[in-house]
Structure 1
Amino acid sequence: MLISSKMQSPKLMINHCKNVQYHWKQVSGSVRTSAASHLHSSSVQCSTTSGDDYQYFHKSKTPSMHFQKSLLRLPIPDLDKTCTRYLRSQEAILTPEEYSQTQQIVAKFKDGPGADLQAKLKLKDKANKHTSYITGPWFNMYLSDRVPVVLNYNPFMAFTPETRPGYSHPVIRASNMLVSSLRFMKTLRDSVLEPVVYHLNPAKTDTDLFRRITRWTPSAIAAYSAYAFKAFPLDMSQFVNLFNSTRVPEQDKDRLKSDPKASHMLIMKNGHFYVFDVFDRDGNILSPAHIHACVSYIYNDETPPPKHSIAIFSSENRNTWASCRAELLAAGNEAAIETIDTAAFNIVFDDVEVGMDPTKMYHTFLHGNGKNRWFDKSFSLVFTADGQVALNFEHSWGDGVAVMSYINALTKDVGERPFIHPDSQPATIDASQLVQRLEFNLTPSLEGAIDRAHQQYVQNTSALQVDVLESKAMGKKHCKKQKVSPDAIMQLGFQAAYYMQNGEAVASYESCSTSAFKHGRTETIRPATLETLEFSKAVSKTQLPSNSELRALIQECSKVHGNLTKEAAMGQGFDRHLFGMRKIAESEGGELPALYTDPAYAKINHVIISTSTLPSTAIGFGGFAPVVRDGFGVGYQIQDDALGLVVSSYPPHRDGAGFIECAQKAYSIIHQVISS
């Protein structure tokens, strides 16, 4: 799972850059026109609040994509180093006999087909300087996979609860989040969203002086002027698909579709699709009271759920969904589907209360009942009846950086200046003339397909188990005080827990952003190491070693994990490199090199412990399903004075409750050792 927005301290980035320091319804109606134009043509007055203070988050004098052209390109690692890193990771999860065999295979690969593939990869990269060597193959991997996106790809991130009295009502919270989202969207559309920059020392570089100098530096070398300040612009290419975007199912390979000129919003309730304009004809955001009126109208509409909701189709196998979509279009639903596809994003109102129960939240936000979701939209904000909210996003178009930039900005804006209050009155307009509830023509064949899809959906989602660990015994502050990496401690706990439960180490995954590079996506951190294995064996003994011995092991685990993280952030992992070479070999046909047919390669890519974290105060927790049937999906956070993880699994293949119990034991030991 690739939702991490982890951006590492760029000491290595500085070294990498030091030689270039000179150098982002109508309720009974149907859609009457294309989505790119406006949905209503009635005489109802559409009120707009003019003025930049409402229309924009801010107006950056530096264009949003100013640094994009000059970002460093994602490096292709040295083949020898990739092979060394690959073997070191394999040694932790293979038997001695398996490892010896893999060593021989890797040696032959390095001096034979690997060298040839490396040369071809470099040539291809040189011919495509506008992008990165991983971008094309990575998009193809996502879009060609035929499994449903729900449970297999789409993650969720639950926002922290709204604590201000009255502001958690779904209409108030949704209206405010919609208005703030539109402000972010317009700021991005008009290229006045401030570029995303990682400041190594914000006090010195997050300044007007930095902005003035970089703004006046030509875009062809602008990133280098930022590097000179030890500030690192991040890739913003994914922001293009954040709004007005969707994944379209097609046979064998899907495609991404967007319409940046579309002016309408999509809201789902009780399996119905509602749309309404949120921008006027001049591209200005309609007034908060106007938007409040439309949202309130939809929320209070009591139209019963349809017997057959097409929403379930977006949870289907992609080829099955592609066939159903073609049949939907042939049945006369082109305009309605187009309107869904091009909407700014999706808001979902669910008639369910989750309270503060993380398990209920998890199931609601990750999948729900399937009848009130459109999993193909770039993202959906899912609201419960008691005002909890989460973002569920389709993963092919992007990773955590663009999503988290939006989430953090959204949370800050809603928190600091909500435009709708508990005592606010919606605009005195006839919202029934402005809101359209989409109607669909369904053939008997489509109705049957909906029934089958729902049966399969219930079967798939009911198999998922969720277990939770929350502990205040240890947090980020304590780890740093003891001079160990908080993330390394979290990952060490997972490794020790699995070993306690199963007596072995297995393929594990933590995603790391490579957004410091042009069109960077993610690289894999492999948390299962020889060092974590040694610690896991030690704490699984009946008689524990001394605290000093265990502390030394923990320190070494932290050091190794830190180095792996830095390497990944610099594009120096082995996973994407081997993936890129494999794609070249596959494109040539014929027999694949032995490295790719070695059972050890399949083993390390059968990820049992898939983990991801999003360190943000805006997010309470997040989650995703295991990436393999016999695996765990571990969403985690370590806060200043607490840690938490939510573990998904598919019993009887894995025991999530047992894993949590072992993790609790592991963290207890770690805390006791580093505190002594």
Structure 2
Amino acid sequence: MAEAHQAVGFRPSLTSDGAEVELSAPVLQEIYLSGLRSWKRHLSRFWNDFLTGVFPASPLSWLFLFSAIQLAWFLQLDPSLGLMEKIKELLPDWGGQHHGLRGVLAAALFASCLWGALIFTLHVALRLLLSYHGWLLEPHGAMSSPTKTWLALVRIFSGRHPMLFSYQRSLPRQPVPSVQDTVRKYLESVRPVLSDEDFDWTAVLAQEFLRLQASLLQWYLRLKSWWASNYVSDWWEEFVYLRSRNPLMVNSNYYMMAARAGNAVHALLLYRHRLNRQEIPPTLLMGMRPLCSAQYEKIFNTTRIPGVQKDYIRHLHDSQHVAVFHRGRFFRVGTHSRNSLLSPRALEQQFQRILDDPSPACPHEEHLAALTAAPRGTWAQVRTSLKTQAAEALEAVEGAAFFVSLDAEPAGLTREDPAASLDAYAHALLAGRGHDRWFDKSFTLIVFSNGKLGLSVEHSWADCPISGHMWEFTLATECFQLGYSTDGHCKGHPDPTLPQPQRLQWDLPDQIHSSISLALRGAKILSENVDCHVFPFSLFGKSFIRRCHLSSDSFIQIALQLAHFRDPQCLALFRVAVDKHQALLKAAMSGQGVDRHLFALYIVSRFLHLQSPFLTQVHSEQWQLSTSQIPVQQMHLFDVHHYPDYVSSGGGFGPADDHGYGVSYIFMGDDMVTFHISSKKSSTKTDSHRLGQHIEDALLDVASLFQAGQHFKRRFRGSGKENSRHRCGFLSRQTGASKASMTSTDF
């Protein structure tokens, strides 16, 4: 729930007595609009499904059904029980000379209606099947008879070779948990971190909330859940992200690192092509249960537009250029020629032209992008003037497929100081220099002067697994499909007929010069206040945790708690904590989590001007440790044992609290975990490097609880070295970098 603390822009006035509240027009209007947006998405997907094949059926199945009906009719059988005769009577007579044609049309119409009814039945059956969550609650490695039956039925009704959005109309609605269960789970979760006095007071507030306000707020959420497909997602997007007036830099963006670069732009555009054609398979839990794919729609051609009160997301159907920033100058680079994608060599040629361009930046152009790192209200007001004075240049940036920053400085892992270089690399991706990223874009591809690269991603349009999936595809495609020639260039030949990249001209009015300076000053302060730390832990990884018969994610999460509080745990308590984390995780996966439900109840209370001390206290709590795992979703694309240089080392995000930490981690194969830690330098309570050492100690302490892991700690201490990352194997992995294709050499 840490991200919900950003929802500070939503502050309607409160009534002193909120217990007796009538039906509120504003909240009903919001529920109506939520449903309208949801149904519009459903209709657009229905048309897309109709064009590309109605899953799990296909146009071929309609042809088979029509042929069967025609054959039965030829054999003087009527499978329609007289319906086709009635259809024939409704068709025009055409003078009686096209009687056979009328029969064919009647059969086609009947086949279409029957086919549609069968597809609708399949969708309803699949939706009912996917509503079953019993498989989540079963012990690891065990499967009950009902779950086996469920798996078999899902396999039957799911069809074969699904496309990205094939399951969207069959996914069940997000259930609204019981408010009593949510409050109980919340009190359970805060009990260990509150004093007896504070917990008793919180429990009193919770009981008062259940007695006075809970039923009314829950009624509105249930109404919304029946009208819209998800009772929380659009409000989460709006009030957590779009209504937040905080700068996007550090607060809303996160970064991702890579092992290679070069053909990255071409590979990203290939991914977009596959996305448009729905050739990306949907994510399936256990290889069977589909997850929602809606967030994939806004990866490309998307910009978060600032507003005075709230932002909005602008998504274009297509864009055939990227916006490029280099040494304070902006360029528009076309990505297509005669409706076909430019080759990697042609794109390299365009980037090289920008690198070779000696023209200087215009006054204030160099720092213009710092406005996207300013408070959102300030940027919205300045953007109004900018849109009037430099509409064409602004549209070229905001209408681009994505933003590319060609940094003039090197970054990435170095042999001389691996720890410090990784920390600087992470900081450069998360914040940069405050004026060399267009933070409003869905993502920025950052290419450093030595060929290293990474992503800076704006958070509101999607969560990390979506951009992570795209990045995995990009790395694998660049490495194993596109490749490089022997002289270090992208394969292929330059295209001398291509026009030069278009230099964008900004006619900046005098009144915004001071705004740019203020924005740059604020961005530098925010950037300098972020303490980033990245370290790979290579003593053990997933394979050891599996031998302990534990969930790898729960293992790391509990170790992070140990690192944060340094409370020694015994093995029995550790197993209890892991089991509890697994139970909470499974509850969240089945729609029974605490934070989103409490957040939605809080939003409804605000719409109703209903004062709830309990919800206000929940919303105002400070979460000092915000954690996230970056999943590796496409293991088939990489061989981490033979090609470790090509595996992404994950990414990170800023802390959710001024006195807290942001920690992300990624399992790199079976024997390494890489951690990304961030905190605020202005805090006297946090230190990213100190927490990194505590995480390392905690992992070794936890491993030593298991007989199979006791040798790790002995080996670590026996080495006489204070920090194991100075002897990690990745330091010896080096690959050549090209001079023109900007190839990276990380990990």
- Tell me whether the two structures share a fold, i.e. TM-score over 0.5: yes
Match of 1:392 among 434, 449, 456: 456
> Quick check: 1:2–1:399 contact (8 Å CA) kept in 2?
no
> Quick check: 2:426–2:534 contact (8 Å CA) kept in 1?
no
Equivalence map 1:204-243=2 (5 Å): 231-243=288-300
Equivalence map 1:81-92=2 (5 Å): 81-92=181-192
The Cα offsets for residues 267-307 of structure 1, whole Å up to 9 and x where unpaired, read as 211122111221235x4213333223212212332333444
Equivalence map 1:141-160=2 (5 Å): 141-159=240-258
- Residue in 1 aligned with 2:657? 628
> Quick check: 1:289–1:420 contact (8 Å CA) kept in 2?
no
- Residue in 1 aligned with 2:627? 611
> Quick check: 2:319–2:399 contact (8 Å CA) kept in 1?
yes
* CA distance in 1: counterparts of 2:232 and 2:564, whole angstroms: 35
* CA distance in 1: counterparts of 2:548 and 2:369, whole angstroms: 50
* CA distance in 2: counterparts of 1:156 and 1:466, whole angstroms: 11
1:653 and 2:719 correspond: no
* CA distance in 2: counterparts of 1:601 and 1:345, whole angstroms: 34
C-alpha deviation, 1:181, in angstroms: 1.3
Match of 1:193 among 264, 269, 279: 279
> Quick check: 1:82–1:574 contact (8 Å CA) kept in 2?
yes
- Residue in 1 aligned with 2:100? none
Three-state SS of the structure 2 residue aligned to 1:393 is: strand
C-alpha deviation, 1:479, in angstroms: 1.0
* CA distance in 2: counterparts of 1:334 and 1:72, whole angstroms: 43
* CA distance in 2: counterparts of 1:320 and 1:634, whole angstroms: 30
- Residue in 2 aligned with 1:210? none
Which 10-residue stretch deviates more, 320-329 or 177-186? 177-186
Three-state SS of the structure 2 residue aligned to 1:619 is: coil
1:593 and 2:605 correspond: no
- Residue in 2 aligned with 1:520? none
Match of 1:182 among 249, 269, 287: 269
- Residue in 1 aligned with 2:340? 284
> Quick check: 1:633–1:648 contact (8 Å CA) kept in 2?
yes
Three-state SS of the structure 2 residue aligned to 1:649 is: strand
* CA distance in 2: counterparts of 1:471 and 1:292, whole angstroms: 36
For the aligned residues, what is the CA RMSD? 2.6
C-alpha deviation, 1:70, in angstroms: 1.4
Give the 3 Å change call, closer, same or farther, for CA 113–476 of structure 1 in structure 2. Answer: same
The Cα offsets for residues 410-460 of structure 1, whole Å up to 9 and x where unpaired, read as 2221122116532446524155x3410101001222122111111111111
Three-state SS of the structure 1 residue aligned to 2:337 is: coil
Alignment length (residue pairs): 540
Give the 3 Å change call, closer, same or farther, for CA 274–609 of structure 1 in structure 2. Answer: same
The Cα offsets for residues 94-116 of structure 1, whole Å up to 9 and x where unpaired, read as 11111111112212222331122
Give the 3 Å change call, closer, same or farther, for CA 647–405 of structure 1 in structure 2. Answer: closer
* CA distance in 1: counterparts of 2:461 and 2:528, whole angstroms: 28
Three-state SS of the structure 1 residue aligned to 2:650 is: strand
The Cα offsets for residues 575-622 of structure 1, whole Å up to 9 and x where unpaired, read as 000111111111112x42221233x6522xx11111112032742131
* CA distance in 2: counterparts of 1:643 and 1:192, whole angstroms: 32
- Residue in 1 aligned with 2:349? 293
- Residue in 2 aligned with 1:321? 379
> Quick check: 1:137–1:583 contact (8 Å CA) kept in 2?
no
Equivalence map 1:306-345=2 (5 Å): 306-309=362-365, 310-331=368-389, 333-345=390-402
C-alpha deviation, 1:157, in angstroms: 0.9
* CA distance in 2: counterparts of 1:292 and 1:663, whole angstroms: 41
> Quick check: 1:624–1:633 contact (8 Å CA) kept in 2?
yes
Equivalence map 1:108-507=2 (5 Å): 108-129=208-229, 131-159=230-258, 161-162=259-260, 173-174=261-262, 176-189=263-276, 191-201=277-287, 231-281=288-338, 283-309=339-365, 310-331=368-389, 333-356=390-413, 357-418=421-482, 420-421=484-485, 422-423=488-489, 424=491, 426-429=493-496, 431=498, 433-500=499-566
The Cα offsets for residues 45-98 of structure 1, whole Å up to 9 and x where unpaired, read as xxxxxxxxxxxxxxx975432221111221111222111110111102111111
Three-state SS of the structure 2 residue aligned to 1:637 is: strand
**Structure 1 unaligned runs (5+)?**
4-8, 25-59, 163-172, 202-230, 501-535, 540-549
Three-state SS of the structure 1 residue aligned to 2:626 is: strand
C-alpha deviation, 1:263, in angstroms: 1.3
Amino acid at match of 1:672: S
> Quick check: 1:271–1:373 contact (8 Å CA) kept in 2?
no
Three-state SS of the structure 2 residue aligned to 1:124 is: helix
Three-state SS of the structure 1 residue aligned to 2:665 is: strand
Give the 3 Å change call, closer, same or farther, for CA 601–16 of structure 1 in structure 2. Answer: farther
Match of 1:97 among 188, 192, 197: 197
> Quick check: 1:463–1:650 contact (8 Å CA) kept in 2?
yes
Three-state SS of the structure 1 residue aligned to 2:536 is: strand
Amino acid at match of 1:416: F
* CA distance in 2: counterparts of 1:289 and 1:583, whole angstroms: 51
C-alpha deviation, 1:10, in angstroms: 8.5
> Quick check: 1:245–1:258 contact (8 Å CA) kept in 2?
yes
Give the 3 Å change call, closer, same or farther, for CA 418–348 of structure 1 in structure 2. Answer: same
* CA distance in 2: counterparts of 1:265 and 1:554, whole angstroms: 50
C-alpha deviation, 1:661, in angstroms: 3.0
* CA distance in 2: counterparts of 1:335 and 1:99, whole angstroms: 57
Amino acid at match of 2:613: A
Give the 3 Å change call, closer, same or farther, for CA 23–103 of structure 1 in structure 2. Answer: farther
Give the 3 Å change call, closer, same or farther, for CA 84–458 of structure 1 in structure 2. Answer: same
Higher relative CO (Cα under 8 Å, sequence separation at least 6) belongs to 1
Give the 3 Å change call, closer, same or farther, for CA 671–137 of structure 1 in structure 2. Answer: closer
Equivalence map 1:524-539=2 (5 Å): 536=567, 538-539=568-569
Give the 3 Å change call, closer, same or farther, for CA 103–61 of structure 1 in structure 2. Answer: closer
1:12 and 2:136 correspond: yes
- Residue in 1 aligned with 2:23? none
**Structure 2 unaligned runs (5+)?**
5-132, 138-145, 414-420, 633-639, 641-646, 711-747
C-alpha deviation, 1:469, in angstroms: 4.0
* CA distance in 1: counterparts of 2:357 and 2:697, whole angstroms: 50
- Residue in 2 aligned with 1:568? 588
> Quick check: 1:270–1:371 contact (8 Å CA) kept in 2?
no
C-alpha deviation, 1:664, in angstroms: 2.7
> Quick check: 1:248–1:254 contact (8 Å CA) kept in 2?
yes
Three-state SS of the structure 2 residue aligned to 1:417 is: helix
Amino acid at match of 2:249: V
Give the 3 Å change call, closer, same or farther, for CA 61–642 of structure 1 in structure 2. Answer: closer
> Quick check: 1:156–1:623 contact (8 Å CA) kept in 2?
yes
C-alpha deviation, 1:257, in angstroms: 0.8
> Quick check: 2:232–2:596 contact (8 Å CA) kept in 1?
no
> Quick check: 1:624–1:634 contact (8 Å CA) kept in 2?
yes
Match of 1:68 among 162, 168, 171: 168
Q: Which has the larger radius of gyration?
A: 2
> Quick check: 1:632–1:654 contact (8 Å CA) kept in 2?
no
TM-score normalised by length of structure 2: 0.68
Give the 3 Å change call, closer, same or farther, for CA 276–134 of structure 1 in structure 2. Answer: closer
